Structure 1
Amino acid sequence: MTTLSYSIANAFHLDLGNLDLLVKGRTIAVFPWTFMMPGQTFALTNAENSLVVRDLNYWARCESCKSIDAAADLQLLHHILPWSKSIIDRHLVSRNFVFIALLRVYTLPAKIEVLPEWIGDFSLLKQPIMVNNLQPVLADRIFAKRQQQLDKLSPSPYPQLETLQQQLDLASSSDLHIDSFNRDLRIFLEWEPPSPQPESLTDLKWINRICEVGNSSDGNEFEKLVRRSFLQLGFTNSLNNIKASLDPNATGGAGGIDIYGDRPFSLVGECKASKNESVPNSVSAQLIHLGMTHLGKETFDRSVKIIFAAGSLTPAAQQAAVQNQMNVMTPTTLQRLVTLKACYPGAIDLRELEQCLKQEPFGEDSDFKVNKYIDSIQHRIKTLAHIVSTLKNYLESQTFQEVGIEKFHVVFDLSHPPQRYSEEELYHMTIELSSPLSGYLGRIKGQDWRDDRFYFLRELIISLS
């Protein structure tokens, strides 16, 4: 395989804002004062504080350059690249056109120094270098897509989302949910590559302790972890009652319910950290007594009831659990459920979970029921991931930009999918994957659903075995 080498002898000066957008992959366009030769290579530097020797971290290769003078095209540029308006206006003060150059940006293998002397838009490097280890900021597919958009002066399909993301960048926030949403937006807009695994996996440290603590004799810690688990799943508690709480930093204490959440549905539970111990009937009796005491009969009767325990129920406890429609969930199963939520925040529909927990079987057999529910979600995620990868691989193999559902249904059936679907079923799944909140596929809407066309945006990464 031939290794490409590039010689870099000078640096191109950019406004700090434009440089930041380039190196973060948010644009590939610059507006040089003079025509830039395609194939020309140079380091990238900040035009501010240019009288000092500085270290540089990025270089670029000019892929194309052209002049734009039509008023309509210049107006289009303002909409496509809103940050460029002031730069374009500066150029138009002394002439009626601008040069737009499209740059492929790469990271430098090591820092280099630039001299302070300018020659037009450029200054010399302290020492010319050769680069052969190419590390592009944007993947080939994404760069080609951006290049095609700017060659055709096509507007962004998501201008409102771009504006929202820029506003989130400017706003300082310590809210982890806002930070996570901002990161998801950047990935969706292809301004940032997806992480090798979901960022939420950093939450798994405490989640991975659920099984261990549930199989120990540390009842208080297990109760706190169960409460934290249901907060993670999306439950809240509005009672303001320490005896029927969801506070993960406290316990129900003597005479209090171990766990209670009232939204999105009423759920009450008793925790029994049990290392090689059977769960006696007194646990079922206590859940009934405390539930009736603190919630009242009407609320308790309509609540989902769960005993969290690793040990087997005694025959009497099993009978009481079945008769009173109590689920039994092992720490292992709870850990699986919360891990799934951490890895795929939108995967668990709590209304579906409610229906699962309210239907037979109850008692110890209900643990199998919950695991079956988790298995069904994991199967669906794997199927959706297969759809995304199959569509991506097909488009890359055929060098197509997008594909219709009729053709893709044939391709999908030949790809050894986890499950086969009708054309209409597959269409609805691709619609789910192409929604703005998913952002794995893109969709070009046609006259009816059979005319819609889909294209690849980003991988759906499987993080669960």
Structure 2
Amino acid sequence: MSQQVSIPIALRLPAPDIEALIKGLMIAAMPRIFVNPGRQFALYPSDTSSNVLSTEQHYRSNFLPTAQKSLAELGSETVSIKAWARCELCQVVDESEPLDFLPHLTVWTKEALQQTLSKRGNIFLAYLRVYRLPQPLKIPVNPNPRFVPLPQPLTVTQATPVLNNAFFEQRCRQMQERQPPLHPELEELQSAIALLSATNPIAEELDQDIKIFLGWASSQTARRLDSDLAWVQKIAEVGNSSDGNQFEKLVRKSLLKLGFTNSNQNPQTSLDPATTGGAGGLDFYCEAPYPVVGECKATKSEKVPDGTPAQLIKLGYKHLQKHYDSCIKLIVAAGDLTVAALQTAEGNKISVIRPETLQNLVELEAQYKGSIDLMKLKERLQEAYGLADEKVEYYLAEVRNEIKVRSQLVQAVKKLREQGSEHLTAEIRVYYNAVLAKEPKSRLNELLQVHDLLVELSSPLTGYLGRIKGSDWKSDRFYFLRDLQVD
């Protein structure tokens, strides 16, 4: 459990600066006084009257919407404190030092820094380790220009850091060594997407994924349980009931969640989860990445009759005609198949899975986005006409094992961090095989295979590791960013 800390004061900073700190966009502040390292305080948001330039000139253009929004939220009688911080370092920057590096690592413009330095004579640059408060604290407005006494001491913990340890240390090194940001293009993309995230769920998800990769979200939020799990966990329950319409809608939602699509507006050959195929229509039809046509059969106890696969064949040819033959044919049914139904399914290349199997597929995809390879799933279904649960469950076991191996590789890099920040592929493989591979068959013997996995884990779309490219692939170095948790 995180140790509790009592904080009696707050440091006054412009509201946009505090918002940038809370979002993890920077770790620096420009207080009006030198702040002793180790000092802890809440962050009191104020207007930008202490800034030398206007808001439009002081902040970088991609941050302006956030800056303006934070200023609009300031109240005339109370302020809302959302975070507290500990000063890790405070540097004095004078006119002898170039400021070119700072705009790339903060939200301030170069012109704002130059004007501030010219007016003040020097800049106090405080490196702040910031922690979010569980709930915002409202206090009366206080005119004190620097430190503001709180009405009552604030009891806090270090349980909710904005940045994890590795990222904060990396940011500190970048600031101290005057290094440019590692992913400037990705940071620009995140700023653009953030403007859409409030009203677009897809943009919000991508925004969060990018922030996790960049380190702008804490390790505690690195693996978020997908909000769709609420309905995903009802697939088997509804499939084993008499609610056929609801089950059909859940199957359609499941296929969309797995990555299937259909742009067809015909309700009888649709994948729209808000509707059903209706009388004479297909229960579901997917166009891409390959065509899938199918029937759903929710049932409490009765067996699945021969009429179910026969119906699929009849309606498939009716609506798709010659295209039906090239489709994957799938039935999702809760009951046992009669002998005749099984024979019809096998003879007509129809795969049958239970609702529980579909739920397992979608749950894994919801927990580990992109883990289900639809082309590999296609191969498994084509290997199992008739009852296909065993083949699909075997595929799911393979995927879980692949995730476990990747999780252990991330742990290997994390453990090696104690001996140094970056490590070669060969060093990581040796540690993994010696410590984490419990069985001989789980060892990774091919160095290039390990390197490929490490590159995958360090890609911008995963962000579990970081990568420093060498002169060739063997000299690439990798470092830990965030955990890949497995159940």
- State TM-score, norm by structure 2: 0.84
**Pairs within 5 Å for 1:187-336:** 187-195=212-220, 198-296=223-321, 298-336=322-360
Percent of residue pairs identical: 40
Equivalences, count? 455
**1:436-456 CA distance string (max 9 Å, x none):** 011110000001111000001
Q: Which amino acid aligns with 1:416?
A: L
Aligned mates of 2:239, 2:148 — CA distance in 1: 65
Aligned mates of 1:130, 1:281 — CA distance in 2: 69
Q: Which amino acid aligns with 1:323?
A: G
2:261 touches 2:287 (CA, 8 Å); kept in 1? Answer: yes
Whether 2:482 is the aligned partner of 1:458: answer: yes
In 2 relative to 1, CA 195–43 (structure 1 residues): closer, same or farther, beyond 3 Å?
closer
2:7 touches 2:156 (CA, 8 Å); kept in 1? Answer: no
Aligned mates of 1:301, 1:131 — CA distance in 2: 67
Cα distance, 1:93 vs. partner? Answer: 3.1
2:45 touches 2:79 (CA, 8 Å); kept in 1? Answer: no
Aligned mates of 1:80, 1:155 — CA distance in 2: 7
Aligned mates of 2:173, 2:182 — CA distance in 1: 14
Aligned mates of 1:172, 1:196 — CA distance in 2: 17
**Pairs within 5 Å for 1:76-115:** 76-85=101-110, 87-94=112-119, 97-106=122-131, 111=137
In 2 relative to 1, CA 174–117 (structure 1 residues): closer, same or farther, beyond 3 Å?
closer
Cα distance, 1:151 vs. partner? Answer: 0.8
Aligned mates of 2:261, 2:245 — CA distance in 1: 20
Q: Which amino acid aligns with 2:207?
A: N
Q: Secondary structure at the match of 1:415?
A: helix
1:114 touches 1:125 (CA, 8 Å); kept in 2? Answer: no
Report the counterpart of residue 370 of structure 1 in structure 2: 392
In 2 relative to 1, CA 15–272 (structure 1 residues): closer, same or farther, beyond 3 Å?
same
Report the counterpart of residue 36 of structure 2 in structure 1: 37
In 2 relative to 1, CA 172–146 (structure 1 residues): closer, same or farther, beyond 3 Å?
closer
Cα distance, 1:380 vs. partner? Answer: 0.8
Select the residue among 335, 343, 350 that pairs with 2:374. Answer: 350
Cα distance, 1:178 vs. partner? Answer: 1.0
Report the counterpart of residue 52 of structure 2 in structure 1: none
Whether 2:458 is the aligned partner of 1:438: answer: no
Report the counterpart of residue 169 of structure 2 in structure 1: 144
Q: Secondary structure at the match of 2:391?
A: helix
Report the counterpart of residue 55 of structure 2 in structure 1: none
Cα distance, 1:409 vs. partner? Answer: 0.8
Q: Secondary structure at the match of 1:177?
A: helix
**1:154-213 CA distance string (max 9 Å, x none):** 111011111221222233542211111111111111111145584453212222221122
2:223 touches 2:484 (CA, 8 Å); kept in 1? Answer: no
Cα distance, 1:84 vs. partner? Answer: 4.9
Q: Which amino acid aligns with 1:146?
A: R
Q: Which amino acid aligns with 2:425?
A: I
**1:82-123 CA distance string (max 9 Å, x none):** 4253541332333664332212334579958577353xx514
**Pairs within 5 Å for 1:396-435:** 396=418, 398=419, 400-417=420-437, 419-422=442-445, 423-435=447-459
Q: Which amino acid aligns with 1:61?
A: R
Report the counterpart of residue 390 of structure 1 in structure 2: 412
Q: Secondary structure at the match of 1:265?
A: coil
More displaced, 441-450 or 125-134?
125-134
Aligned mates of 1:18, 1:38 — CA distance in 2: 19
Aligned mates of 1:22, 1:247 — CA distance in 2: 42
Q: Which amino acid aligns with 1:94?
A: K
Cα distance, 1:228 vs. partner? Answer: 1.8
Cα distance, 1:342 vs. partner? Answer: 1.5
2:164 touches 2:219 (CA, 8 Å); kept in 1? Answer: no
In 2 relative to 1, CA 324–77 (structure 1 residues): closer, same or farther, beyond 3 Å?
same
Whether 2:363 is the aligned partner of 1:339: answer: yes
Cα distance, 1:248 vs. partner? Answer: 2.0
Aligned mates of 1:232, 1:248 — CA distance in 2: 11
**1:302-328 CA distance string (max 9 Å, x none):** 110112112222222222211211101
Cα distance, 1:133 vs. partner? Answer: 4.7
Q: Which amino acid aligns with 2:18?
A: L
Q: Which runs of 5+ in 1 are unaligned?
A: none
Aligned mates of 1:88, 1:25 — CA distance in 2: 20
Aligned mates of 2:16, 2:219 — CA distance in 1: 24
Q: Secondary structure at the match of 2:142?
A: strand
Q: Which amino acid aligns with 2:369?
A: P
Report the counterpart of residue 361 of structure 1 in structure 2: 384
Q: Which runs of 5+ in 2 are unaligned?
A: 48-73
Q: Which amino acid aligns with 1:83?
A: W
Aligned mates of 1:346, 1:217 — CA distance in 2: 32
More displaced, 17-26 or 61-70?
61-70
Cα distance, 1:131 vs. partner? Answer: 6.5
Aligned mates of 1:240, 1:301 — CA distance in 2: 22
More displaced, 212-221 or 197-206?
197-206
Aligned mates of 1:291, 1:51 — CA distance in 2: 66
1:227 touches 1:248 (CA, 8 Å); kept in 2? Answer: yes
In 2 relative to 1, CA 51–273 (structure 1 residues): closer, same or farther, beyond 3 Å?
closer
**1:312-365 CA distance string (max 9 Å, x none):** 22222222211211101111111111111222221112222222222x23112x
1:115 touches 1:124 (CA, 8 Å); kept in 2? Answer: no
- State TM-score, norm by structure 1: 0.88
**1:250-280 CA distance string (max 9 Å, x none):** 2222222221111111111122223222222
